[in-house]
Structure 1
Amino acid sequence: MTTTGTTPARVVARLSTLDRFLPLWIAAAMVLGLLAGRAIPGLAGGLGAVSVAGVSLPIALGLLVMMYPVLAKVRYDRLGTVTRDRRLLWPSLVLNWVVGPALMFALAWLLLPDLPEYRTGLIIVGLARCIAMVIIWNDLACGDREAAAVLVALNSVFQVLAFGLLGWFYLAVLPGWLGLETSTLTVPGWQIAKSVLIFLGIPLAAGYLTRRAGERARGRAWYETSFLPRIGPLALYGLLFTIVILFALQGNQITGHPLEVARIALPLLVYFAVMWAGSYALGRALGLGYERTTTLAFTAAGNNFELAIAVAIATFGATSGQALAGVVGPLIEVPVLVALVHVSLALRRRSPEVPR
């Protein structure tokens, strides 16, 4: 990663066309979904005719497709390179699996106390740690690419093991301990765990096996420079397809309650700002240097909205407020994290260890 001559304009230019206009594609998918919902009568019944784990087959396929390319990119053989750096490993684990979920839980209850479905959707978002776009943001901000790849691999594996348990704790147990009113919402803990096993476990296994088979057959260079670029856009296509379906099913809810949709965005904005700034400050305080501090900040601030959407749909249904909260997430995350890349590069120019 070059350490000089990076400007905001060059940051945007280095994004692919798909990534550069991701908020636009998401907005277009939302509009297309709303139009389809009005134009196609009986759409909900048709989508639910065949289901997988309680999710209509078309939506299930979209969820699996959007998760697979992300997990095929992970370098599972690099776990040891970062696990030996305790100054990076332990802060990352604490930020991702203690601070992040707890912060989103607090923001969701503070800012959406009267909207239990959206609140639950945001809490699920907080539990889904970033394993996808964070590598792009990290590269654009001149972070440590190797460290980011390893932290992504750790988060991928940890999510399979811990997501269901943490979902049960934050949605069913902790509110009771704090005396918060949850009688309007039933949280099926096993359903959350099953959804994670299906919609994260299956693509995780497929991604791991694909990398091993591809590297053995054609080598790592071919896998990373030829195969991954071919399958990479599938993640976006799967996400956009899922968004179209969700907005087709939720059109009346969305158009009838625009203020509620706007309220979903507020805790997300606060979450990204606090997580990134706090993580960056911690990295500098620990003496990690600019590259690893940046990696720590972006891996802590980003979220895996693909998984959050999959869990929300499988657990609560495609027409639920939980699913809608997950869909609003990437529409907010992308422009915010692009802005944070610019902030990071500005801070980089002031870092004493970066060559002038």
Structure 2
Amino acid sequence: MTEKQMSFFDKYLTVWVAICMVVGVALGKAAPQAVASLRGLEFGQGSQINIPIAVLIWLMVYPMMLKVDFGSVVNVGKNPKGLFVTLFVNWIVKPFSMAFFAWLFFRLLFSPWIAPSEADQYIAGSIILAAAPCTAMVFVWSYLTDGDPGYTLVQVSVNDLLMLVFFAPIVKFLVSGASNLIVPFGVLFTSVAVFIVVPLAAGVITRNVLMKSHGPDWFDNTFLPKLHPVAIGALLATLVLIFAFQADNITSRLFHVLLIAVPITIQVYFNSSLAYGLMKWLKLPHNVAAPGALIGASNFFELAVAVAITIFGPESGAALACVVGVLVEVPVMLSVCSICNRTRHWFPRLASN
């Protein structure tokens, strides 16, 4: 079987993020006044919603939402056990396990190097990161493990529907419980509306219109590939601005970046192993188990970055924690894909339908 490959941009995403980090920090140090002016462009005084970053994040999220077909949810009855495992890990285990790992490391194990106020920020950012199940990159991970694309679409679609309801209250509850920070529910609800509801609605409308006018083949193979570089470019531009806004924090807390990566990496392996193990226990086919494990472990880091910026500001420790999640995401998830591929023989040779 021919080995499947990620696109050039996706394969080296961690490299691009690292380059953006260097470029952003350099800009923040070389042109502090210009960066301060960009940081001051907000939707209303004190809203924390930076206009340039908001536009870039919307450009980043919109192409991902175009892939979501809520009509596929009707197919959930074909293999409900796999979906139940995914939802259990995504919404019951993952946010709470991340809150525990973040509290354990930032509040206790790393306390000699991290001040309590910094720990609060890193805990909040880690929770926000874990509370948003991955949407876009799951399609890449599923492709690399020969996952059932239709079932992957069902998993993503149902998760996006639940995200509209559960994301905001889970973040508020866990951040308030695991740290000394108070999350204003109004701001959190606004961020969900701006960064999920609006692009999701736009994506569904665009998808339905173009599917009817040009057909699914043109939509999937011509239109969507053209937008993918836009999403990646918007992501990288967003990171340049974030790193520029955080230039002083990063240069003074580079060691913290390494510390933040530790609990985030652990929770990825913990949740992917749990989901994969439950799929094996339930004797589900590999093309359902692999994407289920991957969607249970990866994060919708684009949304997480947007929410952290909206609530705590682009120069906050919470935003920094979410950005570290981007650095961790690609190499760690590629290793999970490799494990899934090497253990394919653990699962029965059955079709998902």
- Report if TM-score (shorter chain) is over 0.5: yes
**In the alignment, which residue of structure 1 is the partner of 2:112?**
none
- SS at structure 1 position matched to 2:32: coil
Is 1:290 aligned to 2:283, yes or no? no
Aligned-residue offset at 1:49: 4.2
Is 1:139 aligned to 2:133, yes or no? no
Is 1:307 aligned to 2:298, yes or no? no
- SS at structure 2 position matched to 1:42: helix
**In the alignment, which residue of structure 2 is the partner of 1:38?**
29
**In the alignment, which residue of structure 2 is the partner of 1:88?**
82
Is 1:165 aligned to 2:169, yes or no? yes
Q: Name the aligned partner's letter for residue 148 of structure 2.
A: D
2-structure distance, mates of 1:71, 1:186: 30
1:107 pairs with one of 86, 101, 108 = 101
**In the alignment, which residue of structure 1 is the partner of 2:274?**
278
Q: Do the aligned partners of 1:121 and 1:321 also contact (CA within 8 Å) in 2?
A: yes
Aligned-residue offset at 1:354: 7.3
**In the alignment, which residue of structure 1 is the partner of 2:234?**
238
Deviations 1:159-208 (A, max 9, x none): 12221111111122x44xxxxxx44x232122111111111111111111
1-structure distance, mates of 2:48, 2:104: 31
Q: Name the aligned partner's letter for residue 165 of structure 2.
A: L
Aligned-residue offset at 1:83: 4.4
Q: What percent of counterpart residues are identical?
A: 34
Q: Give the TM-score of the pair, scaled to structure 2.
A: 0.92
Q: Do the aligned partners of 1:71 and 1:204 also contact (CA within 8 Å) in 2?
A: yes
Q: Name the aligned partner's letter for residue 56 of structure 2.
A: G
**In the alignment, which residue of structure 1 is the partner of 2:213?**
217
Aligned-residue offset at 1:145: 1.2
Q: Name the aligned partner's letter for residue 67 of structure 1.
A: V
2-structure distance, mates of 1:132, 1:296: 14
Q: Name the aligned partner's letter for residue 30 of structure 2.
A: A
Q: Do the aligned partners of 2:283 and 2:347 also contact (CA within 8 Å) in 1?
A: no
Q: Do the aligned partners of 2:63 and 2:227 also contact (CA within 8 Å) in 1?
A: yes
1-structure distance, mates of 2:175, 2:40: 30
RMSD of aligned Cα (Å): 1.6
Q: Do the aligned partners of 1:48 and 1:55 also contact (CA within 8 Å) in 2?
A: no
**In the alignment, which residue of structure 2 is the partner of 1:156?**
160
Is 1:190 aligned to 2:186, yes or no? yes
Q: Name the aligned partner's letter for residue 273 of structure 2.
A: A
Q: Name the aligned partner's letter for residue 66 of structure 1.
A: M
2-structure distance, mates of 1:342, 1:41: 43
Deviations 1:214-264 (A, max 9, x none): 101111111111100011122211111111001111111111112211111
- SS at structure 1 position matched to 2:60: helix
- SS at structure 2 position matched to 1:26: helix
Q: Do the aligned partners of 2:36 and 2:245 also contact (CA within 8 Å) in 1?
A: no
Aligned-residue offset at 1:120: 0.6
Is 1:47 aligned to 2:38, yes or no? yes
- SS at structure 2 position matched to 1:336: helix
Q: Unmatched 5+ residue regions in structure 2? A: 108-115
CA spacing shift, 1:226–1:17, aligned 2, 3 Å: same
1:129 pairs with one of 128, 133, 136 = 133
Q: Name the aligned partner's letter for residue 78 of structure 1.
A: S
**In the alignment, which residue of structure 2 is the partner of 1:22?**
13
2-structure distance, mates of 1:64, 1:119: 25
Q: Give the TM-score of the pair, scaled to structure 1.
A: 0.91
2-structure distance, mates of 1:282, 1:59: 39
Q: Name the aligned partner's letter for residue 317 of structure 2.
A: G
Deviations 1:108-136 (A, max 9, x none): 10111141101110010110111110111
Q: Do the aligned partners of 2:68 and 2:153 also contact (CA within 8 Å) in 1?
A: yes
Q: Do the aligned partners of 2:39 and 2:245 also contact (CA within 8 Å) in 1?
A: no
Is 1:62 aligned to 2:56, yes or no? yes
**Number of aligned residues:** 338
- SS at structure 2 position matched to 1:353: coil
2-structure distance, mates of 1:57, 1:170: 28
Aligned-residue offset at 1:353: 2.0
Q: Name the aligned partner's letter for residue 96 of structure 2.
A: A
Runs of 4+, deviation exceeding 3 Å: 349-352
Q: Do the aligned partners of 1:249 and 1:319 also contact (CA within 8 Å) in 2?
A: yes
CA spacing shift, 1:88–1:294, aligned 2, 3 Å: same
**In the alignment, which residue of structure 1 is the partner of 2:111?**
none
